[in-house]
Structures are given as structure tokens and as C-alpha cells.
Amino acid sequence: MSYTLFISDLHLDSARPHVIAALAQFLDTNRDCDALYILGDIFEAWLGDDDNSALAAQITDLFTRFTRNGTALYLMRGNRDFLLGSNFAQRVGASLLADPTVIDLYGTPTLLMHGDSLCTGDTDYQAFRKMAQDPAWQAELLAKSLAERQAIATHLRTVSKESGSNKAQDIMDVTPNEVTEQMRRFNVERLIHGHTHRPQRHDTGSGTRWVLGDWDAKGWALKIDEFEEKLYYFNINQ
Ligand code: MN
């Protein structure tokens, strides 16, 4: 039976080896899927495609082994790994997706997003997002040495740990009107996104909105085939 998988918000980090092990197992188990989409925040931080950390090497290896036998892998940037680029995608045999992207999923047009752009109520965050998405700002950042970028990332991580911004209750939820507007704009009745760490199916007037979950003590995935859509989780041993 052919099927497609969606995951997001793994927040891969060398400090959380259980999540890396869970990803390795997940990729192993699903080698025969049609495609795997990872909708952002794959990494807790990404310094750029020249990132030479042990974590980058480890994940490069995992993804490369997954795509080697022809399984399609699509990667979207999140707010954590906004510097993820096509060089990395190419290196691991994946394709980098723009946010937003519409795909044809077994005959149903489906809108894919990381989800942060839907949280329009968080104006501070949207100001940061606008800056982080600016190609000139990104180029300036990428022109810095890896060591400088590492220092910036460490600083941002400290700030984010203090504010606890990896926890669902501290991430603002999506703005319902923005969801409706984007689904209308792209003329779809299905939207899949992550970011908010509030895994759930929402049936609204505009269609179905699937929210993926983050990976920590549990891993979450959405499995879709021609006949059914199923959001499920599995336990991750720490
Ligand atoms: Mn996010």
C-alpha cells in the first residue's frame, strides 16, 4: 500500500540523542513510503549548509541512506532552521520546499506550511520572521564565520530556553482568519502544518487542517494514502 508521511518539529539537537535515534528508526520503518515531508524545525538550530557539526554529519548520513533507494524526501524550513538551504537538500538527495507549497496528494490539492506565518497575533515574532526571511539579512549572516554564527546561535538558544519558547503553551496559536484566508487563496480544502506543537485534526468551514506534533517523549506523524488520513504518535524512550 502506497502512502505519504508528514512530520515536523523534531528540533534535532546533539543534547537529545533519543530523538535522533527515534528518527533513525522512523526512517528505517518507512523506507517503502511514497514520500516523506518534514515541515520545518528539523533542527533546533542550523548555522548554514556549511555546518560541520557532528549532528549535521549524522543527519546527513541518515537522510542519504533514506533517499538512496529512491524514496522521496522533501524538506521545508522552519523558524529554527531558516538557514537550511538547497545545498544541504541536494547533498542528502532531498528537495527543499518553499513555505507555502501546494502539492497534489493522491488527487487532493494540499497546502503545506511550517505554520509560523499563520500566527499573526504574535507581532514580535512576525517582526523577527520578516527579518529572518530577508535574503540580504541571511546573506550577511552566512558571510560570518561558522564560529561567529555558532556564538549567535548559542546566544539565541539561551534566550529561547529562558523564555521556554519550545513549549506549546509559549508558542502562540494560529489565527483562524489567517488559516481561512490562506486556504482560500490557494484554493485547497486541506492544510498540513507544524510549529505550534498542538497535534490535532481541525475540521473547519474551509476544510481540514492537520497540525503535526513535536518530537520529544513522543514522536508524531501524519500518514495519508488514497483512502485514509491518520495522525498518530509513538513513544520515544529517553
Ligand atoms: Mn517552529
φ/ψ (deg, to 5) at 198: -125, 70
For helices 123-132 and 135-142, the axis angle rounded to 10 degrees is 70
CA distance 160 to 91: 30
For residue 109, give the C-alpha cell.
490539492
**For residue 32, how far is its CA from the centre of ligand 1 (angstroms)?**
28
d(CA 212, ligand 1 centre) in Å? 11
What's the 17 CA to ligand 1 centre distance in angstroms? 20
Would you place residue 166 in the very low, low, confident or very high pLDDT band (cuts 50, 70, 90)? low
What is the secondary structure of the chain as a DSSP string?
Answer: ---EEEE----B-TT-HHHHHHHHHHHHHTTTSSEEEEES--BS----TT---HHHHHHHHHHHHHHTTT-EEEEE--SSSTT--HHHHHHTT-EEEPSSEEEEETTEEEEE--SGGG-TT-HHHHHHHHHHT-HHHHHHHHTS-HHHHHHHHHHHHHHHHHHTTTSGGGSPPPPHHHHHHHHHHTT-SEEEE-SS---EEEEETTEEEEE----SSEEEEEEE-SS-EEEEEEE---
| Domains delineated in the chain | 4-235 (3.60.21.10)
* Window from 34-48, 144-158, 187-201 with minimum mean pLDDT: 144-158
Q: How far is the CA of 120 from the centre of ligand 1 (A)?
A: 14
Q: How confident is the model at residue 164 (pLDDT cuts 50, 70, 90)?
A: low
Lowest mean pLDDT among 57-66, 102-111, 152-161: 152-161
226: its cell numbers: 488514497
Tell me how far the alpha carbon of residue 172 lies from the centroid of ligand 1, in angstroms. Answer: 11
1 CA to middle of ligand 1, Å?
31
Question: 8 C-alpha vs ligand 1 centroid, how far in Å?
Answer: 9
Residue 80 Cα to ligand 1 midpoint, Å, equals 6
* 5 alpha carbon – ligand 1 mean position (Å): 19
- CA 114 to ligand 1 centroid distance, Å: 7
Residue 75 alpha carbon to ligand 1 centre in Å = 14
- Residue 111's pLDDT band, with cuts at 50, 70 and 90, is very high
Here the cell at position 7 is: 512530520
Span from the CA of 193 to the centroid of ligand 1 (angstroms): 10
- Could you read off the pLDDT of 207-218 as tens digits, one per residue? 999 999 999 999
Q: What is the CA radius of gyration of the chain?
A: 17
Mean pLDDT score of the chain, rounded to an integer? 94
Q: How far is the CA of 84 from the centre of ligand 1 (A)?
A: 13
Ligand 1 midpoint to CA 129 (Å): 11
Residue 107 CA to ligand 1 center (angstroms) comes to 28
Q: Do the beta carbons of residue 22 and residue 11 sit within 8 Å?
A: no
Lowest mean pLDDT among 3-17, 123-137, 211-225: 123-137
Which grid cell is 235? 513513544
pLDDT of residue 155: 83
pLDDT average, residue stretch 107-133: 94
188 neighbors 102 (Cβ within 8 angstroms): yes
Q: Are strands 108-112 and 72-76 parallel, antiparallel or unpaired?
A: unpaired
pTM of the model: 0.95
